[in-house]
Structure 1
Amino acid sequence: MPKILHPVAGALAMILIGTFWLSTVVSELSGDPAFIQTVKTAIPWGFLLLVPAIATAGGTGVVLSKGRTGGLPGVKLKRMPFIAANGLFILIPAAFFLAAKARGGDFDTTFYIVQALELIAGLGNIILLGLNMRDGFRMKGRFRKHPVIKP
């Protein structure tokens, strides 16, 4: 079961974080306060899917590693505390703060400073999750180099 749950949960987490990030960028670039408000107040509802997906991916990853701390499993496991800390201490609080500010139409300097921090931290998690996904594919042999056949 972990062999199925792990990639599904990891992919779901990556899709959700990417959607939050891209929706934020598009709404901010639009400059439409109503659109920004809609996006910023919707994101915390996405945590109802994201938090269990991240927890499932992390938990099944630990089970699948079978205690191995070296090689690619070890590299993936070492990234997880950074992903979790970034989410728990920066991304989730920032999302709730921004949702509250947006709900009140309060798009001040503080809003945009926190928004910039959230975008940077979110991009960091996208990169770390992407590296974990890449390493998972490598562990499954999906990115093997095939020999070049010369004519």
Structure 2
Amino acid sequence: MKTQTLKSIHKAAAILAFLLITSFLSSTIIADVLATPAQIAQVKHTILLFIPGLIAAMMVTGKSAKILYPGAMTGVFKIKQRRMKLAAINGTLILLPAAIVLAKWSALDQFDELYWAVQILEIIAGTTNLTMIGLNIRDGIRLGHNAKKAL
């Protein structure tokens, strides 16, 4: 595969992941504040349907970065890699289980203190991932811009 094609795939996957997380967070917060319990349950169900797409986008982003920059383990590249590892851990240990549990509880109309505690944890963890991916996108743009200046 051509390098430019792989770079385009990498960028698209990163942006898709960022947009999916943004939509998960915004729809969750809007539903929690304005929606009925049935609408909250629908939002939670819909998020579950799109999680495989987010996981795929994150995997493509990570794999394409390793192919594009195999020896780049210092400086900004190392920081970006560390952020992605933290985002993956956060997603695996907090966000995915929370999404499953919240979808189940909301479908059962179980909006008790535990539901809202997990919901708050999910919003914090999701915002953390959104921030890390946003910083990685910013740093990627800067790296690309600096590479063009060097030419």
Q: TM-score w.r.t. structure 1 length?
A: 0.90
Give the Cα separation in 2 of the matches to 1:31 and 1:41: 14
Aligned with residue 122 of structure 2, among 118, 125, 129: 118
Structure 2 residue identity aligned to 1:34: A
Identity %: 36
Give the Cα separation in 2 of the matches to 1:65 and 1:89: 27
Q: Does residue 1:92 correspond to 2:79, yes or no?
A: no
Q: Does residue 1:40 correspond to 2:44, yes or no?
A: yes
Structure 1 residue identity aligned to 2:41: Q
1:35 Cα deviation (Å)?
1.5
Give the Cα separation in 1 of the matches to 2:76 and 2:54: 24
Preserved CA contact (<8 Å) 1:62 1:77: no
Aligned with residue 105 of structure 1, among 102, 109, 131: 109
1:66 Cα deviation (Å)?
2.1
Give the Cα separation in 1 of the matches to 2:11 and 2:87: 16
Within 5 Å, give how 1:2-151 maps onto structure 2.
2-141=6-145
Q: TM-score w.r.t. structure 2 length?
A: 0.90
Residue 148 (structure 1) aligns with: none
Structure 2 residue identity aligned to 1:13: A
Give the Cα separation in 1 of the matches to 2:65 and 2:48: 25
Give the Cα separation in 1 of the matches to 2:52 and 2:82: 25
Preserved CA contact (<8 Å) 2:38 2:107: no
Preserved CA contact (<8 Å) 2:44 2:106: yes
- Helix, strand or coil: the match of 1:140? helix
Give the Cα separation in 1 of the matches to 2:89 and 2:110: 28
Question: Unaligned 5+ residue runs, structure 2?
Answer: none
**Runs (4+) of structure 1 moved beyond 4 Å?**
none
